[in-house]
Amino acid sequence: MDEPFGPEYVRPAQPDCPRCGCCTAVLCEKGRSSLLRCQGHVDDKHRETVYGCPCSAETTKHTASWRMAQVRVTRMARELPILPEAEAMLRALAAGSTTADEEGVFPQLKLRGLGQLVHGLPGITPLGHTYLAAREDVRAATAVRVVDVDKKARTARVEVAAWRPDEPVTVLLDQIISDSGLDVDSLPDRWLTAEANCHAEHADRLVLTGFQPSGALPQGWMPVSGGGVA
């Protein structure tokens, strides 16, 4: 039988992601680097299938959505904190208390990702701990140097002068661009200012906000290990 339009093209199957049971490896690679997560890169037919994929979730460290969640919750804690009674309950949960929700504030914590039900009882999430840390941390402006950018992963490595200038940390590239208004190609080796909790014990606890272009640095100024300057 003749085939006037040629043989039907069938797209080769893509390998499954080894870390989840819902996506292909290619989709999860894209989702980890995207604020849209995996669900934002499929059609309506498959969105429910990949919804909540752990490979791109904000509860999974070092995904784009996780990095943005740290920034979002830190800014919430500093600029628009939850009600005092809600924060009191969050602190009680952080201390391991199973106190009853007499004020009816737990739904607020759950809505903001700060609380969750564990075996039917109110509990605190990692983001809840991030929120409390942001309420207590000393945050201050610091000089930040952009070491390099990864356009594909949408991240940048930066050195934080008042933290550990010899230990680059990864931040969202789009956060820097949105905050500073600078062009991506102008960022490598550029000095900026940002607000940071410079007493953070490790990079996963360091949260940078409010990136802005820096003025000219004094001649001979350079950061040294330990957070000082020379």
* CA dist 109 → 51, 52, 105, 113, 131 (Å): 22, 19, 7, 6, 11
87 contact partners, CB below 8 Å, separation of at least 6: 81, 132, 135
User: pLDDT tier at 230 (50, 70, 90 boundaries)?
Assistant: very low
Distance from C-alpha of 149 to C-alpha of 12, rounded to nearest angstrom: 33
pLDDT the model gives residue 228? 43
> Could you give the residue ranges of the DSSP H alpha helices within 4-125?
25-32, 44-50, 64-79, 84-94, 106-111
pTM for this entry: 0.85
> Where is average pLDDT lowest: 97-106, 115-124, 155-164?
97-106
pLDDT the model gives residue 223? 53
Query: Mean of the per-residue pLDDT values for the chain?
Result: 89
Check whether 158 has a pLDDT greater than 60: yes
Rounded (10°) angle between helices 126-136 and 64-79: 40
Distance from C-alpha of 219 to C-alpha of 153, rounded to nearest angstrom: 34
* Model pLDDT for residues 121-149, shown as the tens digit of each residue: 899 999 999 999 999 999 999 999 999 99
User: pLDDT tier at 23 (50, 70, 90 boundaries)?
Assistant: very high
Check whether 215 has a pLDDT greater than 80: no
pLDDT the model gives residue 9? 47
Exposure string over 23-40, b if 16+ CB within 10 A, otherwise e:
bbeebbbbbbbbbebbbe
**Residue found under tokens 């070092």:** 62
Element (H, E) at 178: helix 173-180
pLDDT the model gives residue 74? 97
pLDDT the model gives residue 156? 98
**Amino acid code (one letter) for 175:** Q
